[in-house]
Structure 1
Amino acid sequence: MRHTRTLTRRAALAAASVTAALVLAACGNDGGHSTGSGEAGGHGSSSSSAGADAAAGAHNAQDVSFAQGMIPHHRQALEMAGLAAERASSAQVKDLAARVEKAQDPEIKTMSGWLKSWGEDVPTSSDSSAESMPGMDHSTSGMPGMDHSTSGMPGMMDGSDMDELEKASGADFDTMFLTMMIEHHKGAVEMATTEKAKGKYGAATSMADDIVTAQTAEIAEMNKLLGKS
């Protein structure tokens, strides 16, 4: 009788131990799965959200204004530089014009790409015409960089200026080209300085910094060619 009770007690204890082990294992598995899933899911969601926020906030209105203004500004510089190959008499002026073309044409393509990716309008070639901009003339060089559609951009030449440059040749062309390009460069430096101070898009502020550095150096070079200190 005692032997039977002992076996029964042992069987009950064994059953209880198995049940407890199963419960603990189930809890452990559920907890581990939940925690792992929660951490991975939470981290992934956080990363995706941060990535979306970064993409959405990658640029601001100033970046758009900078690109939309600098594209036609650069196009006019290219138009001026293109005249130098046949009309300039100075090899130094021709070299400078070639460097302007080499630097600014790729920047136009880059800025056009930014605007397309942002869903913004890319200025057409006609936007480089001063007549298409109210109040535009070369006397606007003191104005801060603004959206090209509402005000004159600093340093831009008007139609009569460009007509005179096209008609000039030799030494007269050299002097006129250098004088105009100095004003044009000063305008670009002003616009780029505004972008550096107020822009948000890293690539745009970096380009603005490059423009300030390169065109400031070219202004000094052109002043030297004109015999100015």
Structure 2
Amino acid sequence: MEDQGAEIAQLREWKSQWFPNKGSAVNMKLPGMMQSMKGMSMEKLQSSQGDDFDVMFLDMMIRHHRGALAMAQDAIKKARHPEIVAFSKKVIAQQQEEISTMSRWKKEWKPGTP
């Protein structure tokens, strides 16, 4: 979480440096955005617990991370600033590692076992 906070701060700093007069940009059509949100139900997650919560949380986070991969891969192809390309490569490595970890947990954790 600390890494993500630092990443967000870095992105905000670059945006204010490079594009000081641009407003907020939220574009659900960017690669990965719709994919990362598809099928997510925060209400369903909040109302579950135990094994059901764990599985749903992992499924949602894996989907979210795959969306980040798609967005970062697109940025590598299209970005003008080399900092964005380097940042995107780092995001890809981190997200792939986290997806692997969560996928392993999902296989290892069986319902009813600690």
- Tell me the TM-score normalised to structure 2 length: 0.78
Q: 2:36 and 2:76 mapped to 1: Cα distance?
A: 18
2:15 alignment partner in structure 1: 115
The one of the two structures with greater contact order (alpha-carbon pairs below 8 A, sep at least 6) is: 2
Relative to structure 1, the CA distance from residue 154 to residue 113 in structure 2 (aligned partners, 3 Å threshold; closer, same or farther) is: farther
Which one-letter code corresponds to 1:173 in the other structure? F
- 1:53-95 Cα offsets, whole Å, 9 max, x none, are xxxxxxxxxxxxxxxxxxxxxxxxxxxxxxxxxxxxxxxxxxx
What displacement does 1:157 show?
A: 5.2
- Paired-residue identity, %: 28
Residue 210 of structure 1 and its aligned partner are, at CA, apart by 0.6
**Alignment: residue pair count:** 106
In structure 2, C-alpha distance between the alignment counterparts of 1:108 and 1:156, rounded to whole Å = 19
Asked if residue 104 in structure 1 is aligned to residue 7 in structure 2, the reply is no
Residues 83-162 of structure 1 aligned to structure 2 (within 5 Å): 101-117=1-17, 118-119=19-20, 120-122=22-24, 145=31, 152-156=33-37, 161-162=41-42
CA contact (8 A) 1:112 1:122 kept: no
Letter in 1 for 2:31: G
- Report the equivalent of 1:164: 44
Q: Letter of the 2:11 partner, please give it.
A: M
Unaligned regions of 5+ residues in structure 1, if any? Answer: 1-100, 128-132, 137-142, 147-151
* CA RMSD in angstroms, aligned pairs only: 2.5
Cα offset, 1:103, TM superposition: 2.1
1:207/1:153 CA distance change after superposition, 3 Å? farther
Q: Return the index of the structure with the highest Cα Rg.
A: 1
Task: Map Cα deviations across residues 16-57 of structure 1 (whole Å, 9 max, x no partner).
Answer: xxxxxxxxxxxxxxxxxxxxxxxxxxxxxxxxxxxxxxxxxx
